[in-house]
Structure 1
Amino acid sequence: MTPEAVVFDIGNVLIEWNPERFYDSRIGPDRRKRMFAEVDLHGMNDLIDAGALFKETIDDWALKYPDWTTEIRWWFDHWIDMASPRIEGSIALMRALRAKGVPVFALTNFGIHSFAYAQTQYDFLSEFDRAYVSGHMGVIKPDAAIYAGVEADCGIAPGRLIFTDDRADNIAAAAARGWQTHLFTGWQGWAERLVQAGLVTEREAGI
């Protein structure tokens, strides 16, 4: 079944997202591991992705953990350093699809304010035909409600959506609703899948 729209995750699909790498570079792997063991920073980020305020949430967590106050605040102060670099092959694929008239959506766990900020840093984040951002939707992947929200808004049958994400649990949740899926491990594999789906040629996909 030929897809009618292509749905991209953003983190580790269009932009690398690796807070651990950033902290390793600042405080070293051993201290970073201790910090992440003591402070659930990804849990904090899930709150932001679900709609909590960006800076205020980070500041609250920084106050809860006085041994790590400075480092926790880096999550806000150096956020763009954690959400980089761009994955150029994926961005080129997105643009190749849109050039052919294929609707391209984003479905991303992203905070309201952090996404708005990211749009000022990455031009392509404003190029989606539709952007489904968890912070605005009030629910994060892999909750089934976020996929249902996409279906209800775009009006496209689940089987006509093809979705890529780097997390197996997010992919499994989409597949359970009947979406076509691809577990992202690199832009080349995603390009091959889009070629197989008949949406782009190998030349257009850059492979």
Structure 2
Amino acid sequence: MIEAVIFDIGNVLIEWQPERHYDSIMPRARREAMFAAVDLHAMNDAIDRGAPFRETIYAEAEKHPEWREEIRRWHDDWIHMASPAIPHSVRLLRALRARGVPVFALTNFGIESFAYAQTQYDFLSEFDRAYVSGQMAVIKPDAEIYARVEADCGIAPGGLLFADDRADNIAAAAARGWQTHLFTAPDGWAARLIAEGLLSEEEAQ
């Protein structure tokens, strides 16, 4: 029996497409060259592990003066990369809570960037428990983060249903015995919640 539903945030509740944002502010060929020259996603992983938000990005920018202004925009334009919200997913989160189903977040997210996102998206403060990698100093798909969720919430792995858009994160959860859903679109996630008896078709609209 499912005792709690766990949402990833990026590309489940909020779109996270840094490349798309950069393509809107610079020629695509130049963006591709920058991403090939600078491992911006590794930089972001460091933030997700708890490194300071602005300082980490600005320090990376200083290592690559030819891309300095563009790299700084990872911080300065951050909310434009982490947008928009995915409305149907937000409705599912709220419908589950209205039914009394415990809803958690398990997200790779920086400490300061998550706090900022909470000021922009009210639903990010509506979880019963929020497991934020930056606060935990470990990121998915490291087995430790899943173990710490289990220890904190006290629910056996088989009682957790976890939705994430990344196959590696899902595989790591499944290896521990969690119920999982590889998120590709809200409709599929809604169908899974209906199939599990957690929401009615009307509630999952």
TM score, norm. by length of structure 2: 1.00
Query: Partner residue of 1:100?
Result: 99
- State percent identity of aligned pairs: 73
**SS of 2:150's equivalent?**
helix
Q: In structure 2, what is the Cα distance between the partners aligned to 1:144 and 1:97?
A: 27
How many residue pairs get aligned? The number is 205
Distance, in Å, in 2 between the alignment partners of 1:46 and 1:26 is 23
Partner in structure 2 of residue 185 of structure 1:
184
User: What code does the residue aligned with 1:39 have?
Assistant: V
Query: Equivalents in 1 of 2:124, 2:87: separation in Å?
Result: 13
* Whole-angstrom CA distance in 2 between matches of 1:193 and 1:186: 11
Corresponding residue for residue 73 of structure 1 = 72
- Offset from partner CA, 1:69-107 (integer Å, 9 cap, x none): 000000010000000000000000000000000000000
Task: Name the structure 2 match of 1:88.
Answer: 87
Task: Report the CA distance between 1:120 and its aligned residue.
Answer: 0.4
Q: Distance in 1 between matches of 2:112 and 2:85?
A: 19
Equivalence for 2:112: 113
Query: What is the CA distance between 1:28 and its match in structure 2?
Result: 1.8
SS of the aligned residue for 2:180 comes to: strand
Match of 2:134 in 1: 135
SS in 2 for 1:58: helix
- Cα distance in 2 for partners of 1:197, 1:4 equals 11
Code of the residue aligned with 1:109 in structure 2: it is N
- Deviation of the 1:29 alpha carbon: 1.2
User: Deviation of residue 160 (structure 1)?
Assistant: 0.3
Partner of 2:204: 205
- Once the two structures are superposed, residues 16-54 of structure 1 have per-residue CA deviations (whole angstroms, 9 ceiling, x without a partner) of 000000000111211110000000000000000000000
- Which runs of 5 or more structure 1 residues have no equivalent in the other structure? none
Q: CA deviation at 1:199?
A: 0.4
Q: Show the counterpart of 2:144.
A: 145
**Structure 2 segments unaligned to the other structure (5+ residues):** none
Asked whether 1:11 is paired with 2:10, we answer yes
Q: Aligned equivalents of 2:107 and 2:132: distance in 1?
A: 5
Alignment of 1:22 with 2:21, yes or no, is yes
Distance 1:28 1:149 in 2: 43
Relative to the length of structure 1, the TM-score reads: 0.99
